[in-house]
Structure 1
Amino acid sequence: MERSLVLVKPEAFARGLTGEVLRRIEAKGYRLVALSILTPPRELLGRHYAEHEGKPFFESLMAFMSSGPVTAIVIEGEQCIAGFRSLAGATDPTKAAPGSIRGDLGRDWGQGSTQNVVHGSDSPESAAREIGLWFPELSG
């Protein structure tokens, strides 16, 4: 059984889309293991996005992701990492297919592609690292 971290990003939280994202996750058949609503501190975001430090978009990403509440979720299910990434759709919400979370709920706000509704872990290794950061009580 696989686990993944899903984040409903600040713009989606502000638009009241957490329930719709959760509905789609549960409709897909994945189990919710943990859920937390928080405005992430820069220290947590710095560790989460450590691989992007030094890149031109890093500071704007940090500012955006700390700009308001996010919903952090741990989901569980067979192949849920790949399954959720397919459900989420392409990173660029303009190019994301209709029927996907980003395709249906996202759009280009003229602020860069970081405002794309959700984040999902991209590998079992990333999922373990990210879950450990956001939900240390689940790491083990």
Structure 2
Amino acid sequence: MINYFGKITLSIIKPDAVKNGYICPILIKTFNAGFNVKLIKTVKISKNLISKFYEEHRKKYFFNSLIKFMSSGIIVPMVLEKNNAVKDFRNLIGNTDPIIAKKGTIRNLYATSLEKNAIHGSDSNIKAIKECIFFFPNIINNIIKS
């Protein structure tokens, strides 16, 4: 896994983008930006499990709303690979607020609001590893095999 530090990130296509049919356009933008999809799945996640994923936000005003939203439908978590994966993917997805996200970013194109912002991307290399393991516990074996 050490060889993958800085080279992988976790992305989650959120329920709003899935519902609105944006999985393929988001994947195309991701591929065109030079990312390789190492692992991908669709899942409907429970409130309990997604609460663990977003534990760091538990005391924030938006936590309950975030948990309700993320557990409201299908999500598409994926492990993406590229040098400088976290930084490059954060640039690709844009600001959390789609109104101020740069033109052409994923959130500018596909988000409907600050809360329903279409996509998650890890915000640090350490969190990327932890988040990838959260959704893909056998990530080391899966990546080594690919």
TM-score, normalisation: structure 2:
0.89
Letter in 2 for 1:132: I
Matched, 1:130 2:131: yes
Residue number in structure 2 paired with 1:120: 121
TM-score, normalisation: structure 1:
0.92
Letter in 1 for 2:97: D
1:139 Cα deviation from its structure 2 partner: 4.6
Residue number in structure 1 paired with 2:107: 102
Name structure 1 gaps, 5 residues minimum.
Answer: none
Name structure 2 gaps, 5 residues minimum.
Answer: 142-146
CA distance in 2, matches of 1:97, 1:58: 26
SS at match of 1:32: strand
Structure 1 residue ranges, 4+ long, deviating more than 2 angstroms after superposition: none
Letter in 2 for 1:129: K
Residue number in structure 2 paired with 1:79: 84
SS at match of 1:75: strand
Taking the TM superposition and a 5 Å limit, the aligned residue runs for 1:10-89 are 10-89=15-94
Letter in 1 for 2:27: L
Q: Is the 8 A contact 1:131 1:139 kept in 2?
A: no
1:54 Cα deviation from its structure 2 partner: 2.1
Percent identity between matched residues is 32
Paired positions, count? 136
